[in-house]
C-alpha cells in the first residue's frame, strides 16, 4: 500500500480521494519542518501547496518518494532539479485556477468601473454620496488584454458578454484562435493607444517587468483603467501612483504586488482610485477543491499506470540517463529562450531542422524542449517538457519539422527558424565535445556564441574602433565582458556583435550604446 503525506492546508477532499483509492494517507497541514524531516523517508507521495519548502535538503531524505504533487500551478517551492536528480516525479495541476482568476479579474473590473469598494466604505461611514461615485459602463468600451493565454482567453470571453470591444497583444497566439474568440490581435503600442481598460495576463520576466510604466502610460488614453491579476512587478507601482494622481489613469485594480504582503501604509493600497485585494485570484472554494481532487486523482492514476497528467519533469528524468542527448535538449531550450526574446512581430510558423542521426532519434523531445524555452517567456501558465507541445497546439503555433542528413560542417546541427509578419529569424546550434553548447549561426552570420547568462546583441558597421567604443561604455558602467562573438557577411559592411556580460545592462547604458554612431538594433537577452 502506497503511503501519502499531505503537509499543507489542501482541501480535505484530497485525502478522501486517496483513502477511497486504497492509499494510506497522513493529513497533517502545518506540520513542522523538523517533523517532516523525521518521517518523510517512509512516504511514497508528498502533497503540498505553497507553504512547505521542498528543497534539496528535504529531498535528500526521501528514500521511498516517487512523486511530489503541488495542488496548484506553480512549483516555485519545489526544487525540481533536485527531485529530478533523485528520480522523483514532480506534478502540478495546470489550469486549476483559470476560471477563478478570470472571474476575479472581471469582479475587479466591475468594482473599479462602478466604484463599488469606495461607495461601500462611504456608506459604512454614514454617507449617502451618489455624485462622487458615479461610474462608467463596460458596454462598448475597448478592453486591451496583454497575454492571451488560458486566463486571458477566459477574460476575453466574459468581456464579450458585457458588450465590450476586445483587442489583445500576444505575439505567439495564432490569428485563427483570436478570430474564434472575436478578439483583434494588435501590436503592444495599439493596446496602449486604443484601450479604455488594460488587463495583464503574462508571466513576470525580464521582458515583462515594468511593462506598464511611465513611458508606456504616456501612450495611453487619458483616463485609462489598469488591472493586474497576474504577477507583481509587471506594473511599476510608483509610476502608476503618479499617473493616478495626475488623472492619466482614472482607476486601477490590483490583486498582486511587487512585494507581498505589500506596504499597507503605502499609497497604492490607500489610494482613493485603487481597488486592492490580497492575492485572491485562485482563492475560491471551487478552485481549491478542484486542485485538491485533481492532484489526488493524478497521483492515483500515476501509481495505477493509467496516465501521467501534470508531470513537470518526466522527460527530464528520462533525459538525465542519456548523456549524448542531454546537452542537445539543453541547447534546444536555450535556443527557444533566445528566439522568444529576439523575434519581432506576430509569429506565423516555426521551422525546426534536425541534421544528424542523433537529433533524428530525439526529435520529439528536442522540439518539446525548444517549445518549453520559447513559451516559458510568453505564457503565464507553467510550461514544462510534457505540456509545451500541447500549449503550442492550443494557441495555434504551426511547427514544421524537417530531418536532413549530417551537415558538412557539423555532425549534429539544430536549426530553428521563426517566421513572423516582420521577417524571419534563424538560429543554429550544436554541441562541441560532451557539453559545450554553441550557437554557430544567426541569420547567416557565422559565429560561436555561448548561450548563457546576460548578452547584448547589436549590429554595427564593420570598421575599427566600434567594439572599443561599446566596450568603453560598458566599462564605465562597471559591467565586465565575459565573452565576445562576432559575425559578418562581408568585410567593411554590417556585422553582428554579441557580448556576454557578468551582470545585467540597464536601460541607461543601452541608451548610451544606442547613441553610438554606426550601432543599431540593440537588444539585451538573458538565459
User: 521: alpha, beta or left, given left = phi > 0 and alpha = psi -120 to 50?
Assistant: left
Could you tell me if 296 and 167 lie in one domain?
no
Could you tell me if 134 and 204 lie in one domain?
yes
| Residue 221 belongs to a domain | yes
Cα–Cα dist 172/156, whole Å: 17
| Residue 259 belongs to a domain | yes
Q: What is the pLDDT of residue 318?
A: 63
Q: Which has the higher per-residue pLDDT, 71 or 406?
A: 71
Helices (runs of H) and strands (runs of E) counted in the chain: 20, 22
| Residue 216 belongs to a domain | yes
Could you tell me if 224 and 266 lie in one domain?
yes
Over residues 368-390, the mean pLDDT reads 86
| Residue 270 belongs to a domain | yes
- Cα end-to-end distance, the chain, whole Å: 43
pLDDT tier, 204 (very low <50, low <70, confident <90, very high otherwise): confident
Question: Sign of the C-alpha dihedral, residues 383, 384, 387, 392?
Answer: positive
pLDDT tier, 319 (very low <50, low <70, confident <90, very high otherwise): low
% the chain with pLDDT above 90: 77
Could you read off the pLDDT of 434-457 as tens digits, one per residue?
A: 789 999 999 999 999 999 999 999
| Residue 397 belongs to a domain | no
Could you tell me if 126 and 200 lie in one domain?
yes
Q: What is the pLDDT of residue 50?
A: 85
Q: Going by C-beta distance under 8 Å and a sequence separation of 6 or more, which residues neighbour residue 511?
A: none
- Catalytic residue numbers read 231, 260, 279
% the chain with pLDDT above 70: 98
**CA-based nearest residue to 168, from 132, 206, 142:** 142
Cα–Cα dist 94/291, whole Å: 9
Cα–Cα dist 514/276, whole Å: 39
The CA distances from residue 381 to 104, 261, 281, 299, 301, in Å, are 17, 23, 14, 21, 23
Phi, psi values for residue 462, rounded to 5°:
-80, 85
Q: What is the pLDDT of residue 321?
A: 57
Place of cell 511547427: 399
Q: What is the pLDDT of residue 405?
A: 85
Could you tell me if 162 and 209 lie in one domain?
yes
**Residue 162 reports pLDDT greater than 80:** yes
Could you read off the pLDDT of 213-266 as tens digits, one per residue?
A: 999 999 999 999 999 999 999 999 999 999 999 999 999 999 999 998 999 999
Q: What is the pLDDT of residue 142?
A: 98
Could you tell me if 160 and 51 lie in one domain?
no
Could you tell me if 192 and 136 lie in one domain?
yes
| Residue 345 belongs to a domain | no
Number of domains, the chain? 2
Q: Which has the higher per-residue pLDDT, 286 or 408?
A: 286
Q: What is the pLDDT of residue 317?
A: 66
Cα–Cα dist 68/50, whole Å: 12
Could you tell me if 132 and 19 lie in one domain?
no
Domain at 20, CATH number: 3.40.50.720
Could you tell me if 110 and 248 lie in one domain?
yes
Cα–Cα dist 253/270, whole Å: 12
For residue 449, the cross-strand partners are 439
Q: What is the pLDDT of residue 488?
A: 87
Could you tell me if 9 and 120 lie in one domain?
no
Where are the extended beta strands (E) located within 463-518? 481-488, 494-501
Could you tell me if 112 and 253 lie in one domain?
yes
**Residue 381 reports pLDDT greater than 90:** no
Cα–Cα dist 366/332, whole Å: 6
Q: What is the pLDDT of residue 314?
A: 72
What 3-state DSSP class applies to 258? coil
Domain containing residue 22: 3-96+286-312
Could you read off the pLDDT of 409-427 as tens digits, one per residue?
A: 899 999 999 999 999 999 9
Q: What is the pLDDT of residue 119?
A: 94
Could you read off the pLDDT of 333-349 as tens digits, one per residue?
A: 999 999 999 999 999 99
Q: Which has the higher per-residue pLDDT, 193 or 492?
A: 193
Could you tell me if 138 and 231 lie in one domain?
yes
| Residue 509 belongs to a domain | no
| Residue 46 belongs to a domain | yes
Cα–Cα dist 479/469, whole Å: 14
Amino acid at each position: 500500500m502506497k503511503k501519502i503525506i499531505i503537509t499543507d492546508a489542501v482541501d480535505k477532499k484530497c485525502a478522501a480521494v486517496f483513502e477511497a483509492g486504497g492509499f494510506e494517507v497522513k493529513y497533517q497541514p502545518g506540520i513542522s519542518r523538523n517533523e517532516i524531516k523525521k518521517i518523510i523517508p517512509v512516504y511514497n507521495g508528498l502533497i503540498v501547496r505553497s507553504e512547505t519548502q521542498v528543497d534539496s535538503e528535504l529531498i535528500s531524505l526521501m528514500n521511498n518518494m516517487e512523486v511530489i504533487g503541488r495542488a496548484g500551478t506553480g512549483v516555485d517551492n519545489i526544487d525540481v532539479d533536485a527531485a529530478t536528480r533523485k528520480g522523483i516525479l514532480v506534478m502540478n495541476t495546470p489550469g486549476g485556477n483559470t476560471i477563478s482568476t478570470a472571474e476575479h479579474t472581471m469582479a475587479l473590473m466591475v468594482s473599479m468601473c462602478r466604484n463599488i469598494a469606495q461607495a461601500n466604505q462611504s456608506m459604512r461611514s454614514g454617507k449617502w454620496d451618489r455624485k462622487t461615485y458615479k461610474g462608467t459602463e463596460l458596454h462598448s468600451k475597448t478592453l486591451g488584454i496583454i497575454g492571451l493565454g488560458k486566463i486571458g482567453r477566459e477574460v476575453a470571453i466574459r468581456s464579450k458578454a458585457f458588450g465590450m470591444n476586445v483587442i489583445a497583444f500576444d505575439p505567439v497566439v495564432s490569428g485563427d484562435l483570436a478570430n474564434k474568440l472575436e478578439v483583434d490581435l494588435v501590436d503592444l503600442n495599439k493596446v496602449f493607444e486604443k484601450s479604455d481598460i488594460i488587463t495583464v495576463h503574462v508571466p513576470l520576466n525580464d521582458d515583462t517587468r515594468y511593462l506598464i510604466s511611465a513611458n508606456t502610460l504616456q501612450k495611453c488614453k487619458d483616463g485609462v483603467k489598469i488591472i493586474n491579476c497576474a504577477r507583481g512587478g509587471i506594473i511599476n507601482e510608483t509610476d502608476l501612483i503618479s499617473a493616478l494622481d495626475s488623472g492619466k489613469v482614472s482607476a486601477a485594480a490590483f490583486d498582486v504586488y511587487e512585494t507581498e504582503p505589500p506596504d499597507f501604509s503605502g499609497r497604492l493600497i490607500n489610494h482613493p482610485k485603487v481597488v486592492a485585494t490580497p492575492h485572491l485570484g485562485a482563492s475560491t472554494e471551487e478552485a481549491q477543491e478542484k486542485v485538491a481532487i485533481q492532484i489526488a486523482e493524478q497521483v492515483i492514476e500515476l501509481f495505477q499506470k493509467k496516465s501521467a497528467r501534470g508531470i513537470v519533469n518526466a522527460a527530464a528524468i528520462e533525459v538525465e540517463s542519456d548523456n549524448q542527448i542531454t546537452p542537445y535538449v539543453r541547447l534546444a531550450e536555450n535556443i527557444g529562450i533566445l528566439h522568444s526574446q529576439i523575434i519581432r512581430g506576430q509569429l506565423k510558423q516555426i521551422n525546426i531542422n534536425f541534421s544528424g542521426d542523433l537529433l533524428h532519434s530525439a526529435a520529439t523531445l528536442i522540439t518539446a524542449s525548444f517549445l518549453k524555452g520559447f513559451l516559458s517567456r510568453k505564457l503565464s501558465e507553467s510550461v514544462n517538457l510534457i505540456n509545451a507541445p500541447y500549449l503550442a497546439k492550443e494557441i495555434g503555433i504551426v511547427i514544421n519539422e524537417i530531418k536532413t542528413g549530417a551537415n558538412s560542417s557539423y555532425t549534429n546541427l539544430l536549426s530553428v527558424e521563426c517566421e513572423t509578419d516582420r521577417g524571419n529569424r534563424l538560429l543554429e546550434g550544436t554541441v562541441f565535445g560532451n557539453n559545450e553548447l554553441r550557437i554557430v549561426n544567426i541569420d547567416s552570420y557565422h559565429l560561436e556564441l555561448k548561450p548563457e547568462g546576460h548578452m547584448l546583441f547589436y549590429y554595427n558597421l564593420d570598421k575599427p574602433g566600434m567594439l572599443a567604443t561599446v566596450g568603453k561604455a560598458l566599462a564605465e558602467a562597471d559591467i565586465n565582458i565575459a565573452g565576445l562573438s562576432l559575425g559578418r557577411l562581408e568585410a567593411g559592411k554590417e556585422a553582428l556583435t554579441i557580448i556576454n556580460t557578468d551582470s545585467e545592462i540597464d536601460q541607461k547604458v543601452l541608451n548610451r550604446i544606442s547613441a553610438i554612431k554606426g550601432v543599431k538594433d540593440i537588444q539585451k537577452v538573458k538565459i
